[in-house]
Amino acid sequence: MPFEKITADGLPLIKGVDISVSAEEAVRTAQLECVITGSGIPVAIGQRTTLKASGEVVLTGYVRDINTGYAANMRSLSIGLVSATVDYVECSAEHATGEWLDLSIDDIARELDTLGIGIETDGSSFPKEPRHKLVQGESPFASIERRARGRGILISDTEKGRLKLSTKPEGRHRGTLQRGVHILPGASASFTERGRHSDIRVRGQSTEGTDKPQLRAETIARDKGVLRRRPLILLHEGEATVDRMKTRAEWQAKRAAGASVTASLPVTGWRDEAGTLWQRNWLVDVDDDWLGIRGTMIIKSVAFSQRGEGGEGSGTVATLSLADPRALGGENPRGKTADGYAAPGSIEAEYQDE
């Protein structure tokens, strides 16, 4: 498998790299092993840089950590990078009023972007929030994440260091990953019941109206994959309407089912058959009879790793963390995957009076 040429603007020669990208995290990270010669340290904390793989941007952000040392006949330099979105996650939000009326979550995110991070969406149309209020001292990310939980929205970052709001898979990789062909030894799967519930009830109130749907509204979603009664009651974040509460209940059930089953596949190289870098929140076809997977899966996260050509442990490997597509808002894959992998096939929340 061809090696990727890894470069980072303003940084010394890179001889090893690990990169972590997730559909469920707003900040991607990288750890670099670099060549160091001469006096001093050739890099500074907070230095802005762009990390590239064979000329293609993988991460845009800042130097986060620097570690260096030496022994009798060697020196080491390790550099940690973070996406530019780190400031949206870690810094406190600044806004003149701290309150918004009748704005969608993406517009609120842009209003909170006083540091110039940049906000993108996958083209989805988000409902307007009747009222959103900033909690003193919280970060912009923490503020919009509260709304995202109730809207079935994933918040991640892009390779250009911008924040992205998504509700569905963003693409599909070409080709099929097969055991013994693309998938390397070390593939694994795990199953857990933790986090899954038979009935997920979402309750809330509306600020307008005095009828039962406004004062005692409740929606319920059922996960038929849970074989005994395990109830969960959630309070809806923000203004409660039947549609929003149904979305919240369905999203909770699907996400929990997806998180209960994970598969980890180390594969050769960083790219699919079309030469596209592996992407979080993209679909990929998998055929691995030993793990019981035969169908379309979604990539929850990717860990890229490369070590110097020719030495011990050298190579270019990507480890894909997979789930049923419905775990991240996708559709039923309709493959022949073992039943244990399937998120609930049809979850439709019902309205009822509390």
> What confidence tens digit (pLDDT) does each residue in 76-87 have?
999 999 999 999
pLDDT of 7-66, one tens digit each?
999 999 999 999 999 999 999 999 999 999 999 999 999 999 999 999 999 999 999 999
* 320 occurs within a structural domain: no
- Looking at the fold, whether 95 and 55 belong to one and the same domain comes out as no
Please tell me the pTM assigned to this model.
Answer: 0.85
HSE (side-chain half, CA atoms, 13 Å) at 152: 25
Boundary-marking domain end, from 58, 83, 108: 83
* 171 occurs within a structural domain: no
- Give the whole-angstrom CA distance, residue 199 versus residue 224: 9
Between 118 and 240, whose confidence is greater? 118
Query: What is the reported pLDDT for 301?
Result: 95
Residue type, 63: V
CA dihedral 200, 138, 122, 203 (to 10 degrees): 20
CA dihedral 221, 223, 226, 232 (to 10 degrees): -30
| Lowest mean pLDDT, pick from 56-60, 64-68, 134-138, 210-214 | 210-214
Q: Is residue 332's pLDDT more than 90?
A: no
pLDDT of 213-234, one tens digit each?
545 678 888 888 888 999 999 8
Task: Please give the residue range of the domain that contains residue 208.
Answer: 199-259+346-353
Average pLDDT over residues 321-327: 82
Query: What is the reported pLDDT for 345?
Result: 46
Boundary-marking domain end, from 83, 98, 120: 83
Between 197 and 262, whose confidence is greater? 197
Binning pLDDT at 50, 70 and 90, where does residue 294 land?
confident
- Looking at the fold, whether 10 and 79 belong to one and the same domain comes out as yes
Q: Which residues of 247-274 are buried (b: 16+ CB within 10 A; e: fewer)?
A: bbbbbbbbbbbbbbbbbbbbbebbbbee
Contact (CB, 8 A) for 103 and 132: yes
* 338 occurs within a structural domain: no
Contact (CB, 8 A) for 275 and 197: no
* 124 occurs within a structural domain: yes
Phi, psi of 4 (to 5 degrees): -85, 140
Boundary-marking domain end, from 151, 166, 181: 166
* Residue of 115, 119, 109 whose CA lies nearest to 145: 109
Instruction: Quote the percentage of the chain above a pLDDT of 90.
Output: 59
Q: Is residue 336's pLDDT more than 50?
A: yes
Q: What is the CATH number of the domain that holds 218?
A: 3.30.1920
**The tokens of 139 are what?**
């970060």
DSSP states along 312-337: TT-EEEEEEEEE-GGGGT-----S--
**The tokens of 179 are what?**
């055991």
Q: What is the CATH number of the domain that holds 95?
A: 3.55.50.10
Mean pLDDT (the chain, rounded): 87
* 71 occurs within a structural domain: yes
Q: How many domains does the chain have?
A: 3
How many C-beta neighbours within 10 Å does residue 160 have? 15
Q: Is residue 208's pLDDT more than 60?
A: no
Residue type, 143: S
Q: Are strands 171-178 and 282-288 parallel, antiparallel or unpaired?
A: parallel
Unique residue bearing structure tokens 């699919």: 272
- Give the whole-angstrom CA distance, residue 196 versus residue 225: 9
Binning pLDDT at 50, 70 and 90, where does residue 323 land?
confident
Residue type, 192: T
Burial class (CB in 10 A: 0-12, 13-18, 19+), 223: buried
- Looking at the fold, whether 119 and 58 belong to one and the same domain comes out as no
- Looking at the fold, whether 74 and 93 belong to one and the same domain comes out as no
